[in-house]
Chain A
Amino acid sequence: MSSLPVRNQRAVIESAAVKALSELTVTVNRSLGGGLRLLTLKVPSEDASVLEHVHAGRFVMLRCDEAEPFKFRRPFSFASVNAQAGTFDIYYKVVGDQTRKLADIAPGTHLSGVLPLGSGFTIPPPDTPAILIGGGVGVAPLLLLATELVAAGRPRPRLLFGGRTSTDLTLEYVSGFPVEVHPATDDGSHGFHGNVVELAALEGVAKDVYVYACGPVPMLKSLVEMLPQAVSIEASLEEVMACGIGACYGCAVRTDGLGAESMRLVCRDGPVFDLRQIRLEE
């Protein structure tokens, strides 16, 4: 069992930096193919300091359709942040009514968002190898993590990146990040023929490695079973949220804790958790 606390202290320390901003300006909203899209949002200059607190694994709650104020905001991980330009990027997939609305939004439109929320990934100790394992759109926070690792003087991390088919991988977009991509597709259309967990098993994962993951629940469950030797497996989890700020208690996940501790809130106590302390339900 890893010693990583279930609650990441970073979220607590930086909570004073959370803002609800009504005027995030859409500057880019373009297709990357395969239903995947890139959204760039510009923060008003007077609130630009909020970007200093954006870290890999943290998230923004975005209102996707201002005409439907009683739909929940949707949580999105940060894929990249540009403090100089005052912008951040969301890498998202059109999967439901709200992301469909989001896909239709033209540059120049204002969206409201609450950010930055939740805990981030922890950076491993120096000289400790890190490996990133992403499934589909779950690669988003890992791209920012790679950027942070390299900025912290670590080598470009290996990214095992899986999708059902080649268009899920948006390789051109991902090539803009400091990662050594090892692709895998279920249909064999690009890279390794199989899923990322099988690829991880094939390539081997060293004993002292820090694993960072984000993707579908079956992938995360398999990872825990396949990588008992990893020092730590941190994963960013996804759950339906009404508020994103720890008020509604809707986004619960079961942990191996006892009593009231046996349930944690993804928004407040995560979304990054030590995966071995979480009991994932499919």
Chain B
Amino acid sequence: MAEDAGQMRVAAGRLEFKSPVLLASGCASFGEPFEDFFKLTEVGALITKAITREPRAGNEPVRICETPGGMLNAIGLHNPGVEEFATELLPKLREAGVTVIVNVAGHSEDDYIQVLRRLRDEPGIYGFELNLSCPNVDGGMMFATDPVLFGRICEKARAVTELWLIPKLSPAAGELAPYAQIADGAGMDGVTVSNTHPAMALDWRTGRSRLSRPSGGLSGPAVKPLTLYNVWQVAQTVPELPILASGGCSEACDVIEFVRAGALAVQLGTILFHDPLRPRRIHEELPALIAECGASTLNELRGRIG
């Protein structure tokens, strides 16, 4: 951690993190894979693997494959369900003092509402990231690509809980700024920009998908310029709405780029698979880079582009 913790603290609206480095949903399980590598209390927040109303086994293998500068995944929301999360997994995170944001996924409005209702009074949860854009399950896209459904689920979620609500926008929706405007209007506390990009990988000999499904979601450094553009565009359109950047952040300098484009904080995803020590390294490197930018805190650099 930085010697001066205030240098790393970021805050906007109702959101506040002691570090701009967050662990992205689906890339850190429930924190346990990283206990050997860094303290989960060092990062700004752990965003859990998507939680659904019922347990889900996820997709058949093959679920992942390498692509240039990134990877495709089609995991399919493999998770133990809300009840086991609440009774088995959350207590450990709560005792450890981890800032937990629960990623919530479902197939219907009712699925989301039931999960939020089950968890809203559980101590230790700071907020919810609404996973409205899982590209790897049938029908998983509808809330993220239909402005009316998107707005309605945001409003319904708001009526259930006062904890942070952060819908995760999907690149499949095209221009994301309109969705950010809707989220802002529905009283969301921020938006995550964005999710994996719908993508394919084929075996040229057989013509078969390299995943068990025809397509998956692209992540990793390959998508960083796309994320940067979307963050910038959303920040230009809805400057008061906090943005969590997600997609391609790998280095400390990437964190600064995303913050300069308008993000409040940055989620680390695929890079965690390549280097489980990376959050700690980014924490070590950031202070010098912030100083090099002529700032005393990262928060000062938000939205500052040349």
- Enumerate chain A interface residues (CB-CB to B < 8 A): 15-20, 69-73, 114, 239-240, 242-243, 245-254, 259-263, 268, 281
Contact = CB atoms under 8 A, between A and B. Distances in A.
11 contacts: A15-B35, A69-B275, A114-B276, A242-B270, A243-B273, A247-B27, A249-B63, A251-B63, A251-B64, A260-B80, A263-B57
B61 interface: yes
B29 A253 contact: no
B66 A252 contact: no
Given A70-B274, A114-B276, A252 B33 contact: no
A249 B75 contact: yes
Contact of A260 (B81, B221, B270, B274): B81
B272 interface: yes
Given A240-B65, A252-B61, A254-B60, A16 B34 contact: no
Nearest to B23: A247
B28 interface: yes
Contacts of A240: 62, 64-65
* Binding site secondary structure of chain A: loop
Nearest to A242: B273
B229 interface: no
Given A20-B275, A260-B79, A263-B78, A249 B29 contact: yes
Nearest to B27: A247
A245 B276 contact: yes
Contact of A71 (B29, B60, B66, B272): B66
Interface of B: 26-29, 32-37, 49, 54-66, 69-71, 73, 75, 78-81, 84, 220-221, 270, 272-277
Given A245-B34, A281-B60, 11 more contacts: A114-B276, A243-B273, A245-B33, A245-B36, A246-B33, A248-B27, A248-B75, A249-B58, A260-B78, A268-B33, A281-B61
B57 A239 contact: no
A260 B84 CA distance: 11
B264 to A, nearest CB: 24
Contacts of A71: 66
Contact of B64 (A73, A242, A262): A242
A72 B59 CA distance: 20
Given A20-B37, A243-B272, A249 B66 contact: no
Given A240-B62, A252-B63, A253-B61, A247 B78 contact: no
A70 B276 contact: no
A263 B63 CA distance: 12
Contact of B55 (A73, A250, A252, A260): A260
A239 to B, nearest CB: 7
A249 B277 CA distance: 19
Nearest to B28: A247
Contacts of B75: 248-250, 252
Contacts of A114: 276
